[in-house]
Amino acid sequence: MMADPVNPNLPPDQVTVFIDGVELAAPKGSMIIQAADKAGIQIPRFCYHPKLPIAANCRMCMVDTEVGGRASPKPLPACATPVMDGMKVYTHNAKAMQAQRNVMEFLLINHPLDCPVCDQGGECELQDLALGYGRSVNRFVERKRSVADEDLGPLVSSDMTRCIHCTRCIRVTAEIAGTYELGGMYRGEDLQIGTYDGKPLTTELSGNVIDVCPVGALTDKVFRFQARPWEMIARPSLGYHDALGSNLFLHTRRGEILRCVPRNNEAVNECWLSDRDRYARAGLYSEDRATMPMVREGDTLREASWDEALARAASILQDHRGDALGVLAHPATTNEEGTLLARLAEGLGCGNLDHRITQLDLSDGAVAEPFGMPVERIEKADVIVIVGSNLRHEVPLLHQRVRKAWKAGARVFVVNPVDFDFTFDIAGKRIVAPSKLASALAELDPGDAQQAAVIVGEIAENGPHAAAIRAAAAAFAARTGASLCRIPQGANAVGLSRLGVLPSGRDARAMLKDRRATYVLHGIEPALDCVDPVVAMEALAGAQVIALNAYASESLKAVADVLLPIGAFPEIEASLTNLDGIEQQALPAGKLQGAAHSGWRVLRALGGDLELPGFEFTTLDELRASLAANPVQPSRGSAPQVGSGLEVAVTRAIYRSDAVIRRCAALQSHPLTKGPRASVHPDDAAAVGVVHDAMGKLGGAMLPVVHDRRVARGCVWIESGYDATAPLAAAATVSLARP
């Protein structure tokens, strides 16, 4: 391969290009706009996006080019014109500017004068470029066209008369989400962007069409008409609804969080956000926010001062030290709060401390661990095996990375109890009951691979056969050279494991089954968050309970003796450790509600009242300076009993996974929120005479029964997070019968 004749010192895969007189080196085959962006030379554009395939249909990026002394007879689109050795590009000469201004005039011919009422006003790419490239007088006097809006669901609002047909939204749903829900309809001046069938968007990544839309055609329906961009302040924060820890900005006005947008981080979430992270902020301001300390008086809770509530909590803990106490933390608890809970338990002589509240089988003493292959590298893998996971709902942007790997040629294999919907082709799959996942994985031969990853998800990690599946996954990784990637079961499960929020005594399931006299609950709604909500509520009802929570839910008020209000994650300064083992920090965005305080402050006050060691600090910086890894080899729990009947496969419903999500009305009305139900193979339902969509009796629960051929024979699939499915969350097997 010959070197570049213009600059012989360049590598053979680079060429020299001159943009506005600036000499640049660019990869062969790259586009002019990519070389210009790298050099910081601005070229106007609407349809081009660095993460999307090139469409070249807005024509705003027209530039003048010259190759070998010969000028191009007409301007060329910079986004679709490859660089050539010695090419000269002019982005702002008379020829280029005339083309860009003419394109802008055409784009504005049909665009409505909506700026005063458009949510995109103030951050609109069309506004910005019209200022620089638009004419002061409109020469078009005919009627503007109008396009009927579509109902795209509860999350995305459409005003398609504003659409300039850049097709970014089409490419997001097709290439990123993989659902192909938007497309172009009709031709010429009648062209419209729509869904074809008029149905709402169902992808779990739908909010990203808002970010890429350069005009006000697609906007945030939940945020609609609430504020202007210049009224809000952006605060860097993190997604805390799965273990990825997506980077994002929270936009606030006078302390109220109004909007969430992605913050670029190529190693974590690139420039995308899942709908769960984007819209969860709407659940922060529900009516049952805990705003005042409460103490039990007789059969009811009454509001109290902080001094009274802390004194009551300290008195309860003084009277029930050691083994009489159980401490349970939500797996999204921050590193700072987790450290203080561990110090509290240690100071009180209590070994009953755990954050693994969703896991049934801890007989192998398993804890969350960072991925063996960083998330960023998973898209470069050539073989990926998914075990026991509805990955698309469990970690949506990890699923998107796997899709990128598949598009690059990777082979994806699946071992699951349900043939879940993925947005990539499956090279091989084994759909078997949960008890057979381990043996099916042991029999899987993925072939040769340079880079392979085995991703183990919540069905495997939380089910009654978890220890066997984890052992099989480790053996598979050792046999094939694959990187073991066990999805942490909680936003900060890795951080809490590192900091020693683990039992030397009873684990979460054991301390509820073998009831303690007193419990400390941090961030937990026991009726929905615990592995066995029925057992949890019974244990807590007969004990004294100190609860630290952002919400005063009915289930919590039914069992709490002291309720201490703490800030939700977006309202506090805190850190989380994601599935790559990266510690990430977030700043407070919204103001604390009522008399609530940050969780670390409440725990600091409680530890101080008890005069425990490790609570002498006064600032968050002092606390962080004392944070250190605290390796704990947790005690091994007992494996759950497995009886006969249909095996239960449990996944968390995508929009019922935690307290904040459950209070977001828009997500609760989303098509992916199916409601409580039991899905079984038609043959299993027919065997007991339960017809499709009829009510069925499953153990202690009554649920609609859905016939679904995707479910393995001998298995029933349940989504947790609903009151109706709570009695089945910890069941290994269940019988199905007509009511």
CATH at 676: 2.40.40.20
Give yes or no: residues 385 and 533 share one domain: no
Q: What average pLDDT does range 312-331 have in this prediction?
A: 96
599-609 and 306-319 helices, crossing angle to 10°? 60
pLDDT of residue 611 exceeding 60: yes
Task: Point out the least confidently predicted range of 3-17, 566-580, 662-676.
Answer: 3-17
> How would you classify the pairing of strands 701-707 and 678-680?
parallel
At which of 55, 86, 107 does a domain end? Answer: 107
Position 620 in a domain: yes
Say which CATH number the domain at 563 has: 3.40.50.740
**Under 8 Å between Cβ of 345 and 353:** yes
Mean pLDDT of the chain: 94
Mean pLDDT computed over 44-67: 95
The pLDDT score that the predictor gives to residue 80 is 96
Model confidence pLDDT, tens digit, residues 523-539: 999 999 998 999 999 99
The residues, ordered by sequence, that sit 6+ positions from 185 with a Cβ below 8 Å of its Cβ are 191, 192, 193, 194, 196
Distance CA 336, CA 454 (A): 31
Residues 602 and 499 occupy one common structural domain: yes
Beta strand 325-329 with 353-354: parallel, antiparallel or unpaired? parallel
Is residue 376 within 8 Å of residue 406, measured between CB atoms?
A: no
Residue 466 lies in a domain: yes
User: Are residues 347 and 330 both part of a single domain?
Assistant: yes
702 and 616 inside one domain = no
Residue 248 is assigned to a structural domain of this protein: no
42 or 630, greater pLDDT: 42
Q: In this predicted structure, what is the pLDDT of residue 2?
A: 44
Share of the chain above pLDDT 70, in %: 99
> Which tokens in the block code for residue 54?
């090139």
Find the mean pLDDT for residues 318-331: 96
pLDDT band per the 50, 70, 90 thresholds, residue 214: very high
pLDDT band at 5 (very low <50, low <70, confident <90, very high): low
**Token pair belonging to 412:** 């994806």
Residues 502 and 473 in one domain: no
Domain count, the chain: 4
User: Which domain covers residue 420, as residue numbers?
Assistant: 375-486
pLDDT tens sequence across 391-409: 999 999 999 999 999 999 9
Q: Could you tell me if 508 and 449 lie in one domain?
A: no
**Euclidean distance between CA atoms 620 and 412, whole angstroms:** 45
Determine the pLDDT at residue 699: 84
Within-domain flag for 150: no
Regarding whether 457 and 409 lie in a shared domain, the answer is yes
Q: Report the CATH number that the domain containing residue 398 is assigned in CATH.
A: 3.40.228.10
Is pLDDT at 48 greater than 80 in this prediction? Answer: yes
Tell me how far apart the alpha carbons of residues 130 and 220 are, in angstroms, rounded to a whole number: 23
What per-residue confidence (pLDDT) applies to 4? 52
Q: Give residue-wise pLDDT tens across range 698-714.
A: 988 999 999 999 999 99
User: Which of helix, strand or coil describes residue 735?
Assistant: coil
The structure tokens listed for 272 are 């995308």
Q: What is the pLDDT of residue 140?
A: 86
Same domain, 467 and 394: yes
Per the CB < 8 A criterion, the answer to whether 313 and 522 are in contact is no
pLDDT tens digit sequence for 158-207: 999 999 999 999 999 999 999 999 999 998 888 999 998 889 999 999 99
Does 165 fall in a domain? no
649-674 tens-digit pLDDT? 999 999 999 999 999 999 999 999 99
Nearest to 711 by CA among 398, 382, 316, 434: 434
Residue 1 binned pLDDT confidence (cut-offs 50, 70, 90): very low
Q: Tell me if 247 sits within 8 A of 236, measured CB to CB.
A: yes
Among 107, 136, 154, identify where a domain stops: 107
Both tokens of residue 532? 């066995």
SS (H, E, C) 228-286: CHHHCEEEEEECCCCCCCCEEEEEEECCEEEEEEECCECCCCECCCCHHHHHHHHHCCC
- State how far the Cα of 91 lies from the Cα of 88, in Å rounded to an integer: 10
- Output the pTM of the full model: 0.94
Do 731 and 693 belong to one domain? yes
In a domain, 8, yes or no: no
Say if 321 falls within a structural domain.
yes
Are residues 398 and 449 both part of a single domain? yes
Residue 529, in any domain of the structure: yes
| Same domain (yes/no): 416, 564 | no
pLDDT at position 6 is 63
* Domain shared by 386 and 417, yes or no: yes
Among 591, 625, 659, the domain boundary falls at: 625
Which residue(s) pair with 547 in the sheet?
A: 521, 563
